[in-house]
Amino acid sequence: MSKRRDIWDASLNAKVQLREWVARKGLFFDEKLWTKILLADTRNSTFETPFHADHPIASVRVLKCGRAEQHKEHRYGSNRPQLWWVFFGRSWVPLPLQCFLIGHRNGWVLFDTGIDPAILSDSRYIEQAIGRFLLPRIFHLYVSESDRIDQVLDKAGVAASDIRMAVVSHLHFDHVGGIAQVPQADLLVSAREWAILSDPHPEREWILRQHIEIPSAKWRQITFEPTDDPIFEGFEGIHDLAGDGSMILLPTPGHTAGSMSMLIRRHGWDPILLVGDLTYEANLLEQDIVPGTGEGETLLASFAKVRRLKQRLPGLTIVASHDFAADERISQATGRTPASGES
């Protein structure tokens, strides 16, 4: 058994390395073909499934990267036009700025990178005057130097230089703010999201080119491959991050055109779906309540896909980036004590 497991590990490793090499060359990686070639011999009845045979995920943790306030209409939706509540809304509600740290056998993986505190200290952080004018009318930000991702990771006992990969759910400034701190990490973004950078004014959607297209960033665009796995029926495709089924990226557009979610699975845990900003609170998605931002119809379509996924994956725990309950929900899914109150 253990020898078989060694073979499995070696084969999986070979596949991951091959895929990375192919990606660096900008070539197409035929996932199914290489799975067949490299993993075929190890996939036999001795294993229940590859996923049960090894437990590649060791941990999932919420990282707190500061806090903010937003208009009530922004979080919970409104019949009024966006500009109305931006200028006349008087009810502000708090939201946490969070990202996620996943311990995978191949190394540490981040899901989003938090906000850059320079957004408050550097008056030129947002180049366009209109953006500088609007930001404080949309968000009240409370972030300090200690909320930068390298500091946050340090507090969590992980060196920023050990982050191997960062999945970027979408390109908003409060999700890509830490990319300069992890120059050695591959930054994964959906090709659809990356295409927004070619729009005439991505900054109008709070996608700030000058902080995304930085020389140190190792951006890798991913596309979703079709799958015949019935669990993912309805989704346009999937991207199996490590090739072991433990971290599956799924397109969940609506908040932005190329937003994606990550499904984390480990034997003995409830499956976890990190949805980024698809919703601000899991229960809003369950009740079909769209926020005051994003593309309404597309959001509703993504909500429906996520709910269908939940029907097929009982216990699926939906975790939104700006949900105060994120840590508690992950704790419940993984059976550990919540870390709330620690930071």
- Quote the CA–CA distance of 179 and 160 in Å, as a whole number: 10
Nearest approach, Cβ of 72 to Zn ion (angstroms)? 17
Nearest approach, Cβ of 113 to Zn ion (angstroms)? 13
Is residue 112 at the binding interface for Zn ion, with CB under 5 A as the rule?
no
Q: Compute how many residues bind Zn ion; rule: CB under 5 A.
A: 2
Nearest approach, Cβ of 97 to Zn ion (angstroms)? 10
The nearer residue to Zn ion, 71 or 172, going by C-beta atoms, is 172
- Quote the CA–CA distance of 116 and 118 in Å, as a whole number: 5
Close Cβ partners of 200 (under 8 Å, ≥ 6 residues apart): none
Is residue 64 at the binding interface for Zn ion, with CB under 5 A as the rule?
no
The nearer residue to Zn ion, 64 or 172, going by C-beta atoms, is 172
Is residue 172 at the binding interface for Zn ion, with CB under 5 A as the rule?
yes
Angle between helix 2-24 and 31-39 (nearest 10): 150
Give the closest residue to 28 by CA, choosing from 208, 223, 192: 223
Q: Which two tokens stand for residue 233?
A: 């029926």
DSSP 8-state class, residue 276: T
Pairing of strands 272-274, 317-319: parallel
DSSP 8-state class, residue 202: G
- Alpha helices, H only, 25-142: 31-39, 50-53, 72-76, 82-88, 118-121, 129-138
Query: Of the listed pieces 29-37, 120-128, 170-178, 207-215, which binds Zn ion according to CB under 5 A?
Result: 170-178
Is residue 270 at the binding interface for Zn ion, with CB under 5 A as the rule?
no
Nearest approach, Cβ of 242 to Zn ion (angstroms)? 25
Nearest approach, Cβ of 279 to Zn ion (angstroms)? 11
The nearer residue to Zn ion, 277 or 327, going by C-beta atoms, is 277
- Quote the CA–CA distance of 266 and 59 in Å, as a whole number: 10
Is residue 277 at the binding interface for Zn ion, with CB under 5 A as the rule?
yes
DSSP 8-state class, residue 170: -
Query: Of the listed pieces 4-12, 41-49, 79-87, 171-179, which binds Zn ion according to CB under 5 A?
Result: 171-179
Q: Are 182 and 162 in contact (CB under 8 A)?
A: no
Q: Are 113 and 178 in contact (CB under 8 A)?
A: yes
Query: Of the listed pieces 64-72, 86-94, 166-174, 176-184, which binds Zn ion according to CB under 5 A?
Result: 166-174
The nearer residue to Zn ion, 73 or 277, going by C-beta atoms, is 277
Query: Of the listed pieces 140-148, 168-176, 191-199, 330-338, which binds Zn ion according to CB under 5 A?
Result: 168-176
Nearest approach, Cβ of 6 to Zn ion (angstroms)? 42
Nearest approach, Cβ of 172 to Zn ion (angstroms)? 4
Largest Cα–Cα distance of the chain, in whole Å? 66
The nearer residue to Zn ion, 172 or 305, going by C-beta atoms, is 172
The residues of the shown chain that bind Zn ion, judged by CB under 5 A, are 172, 277
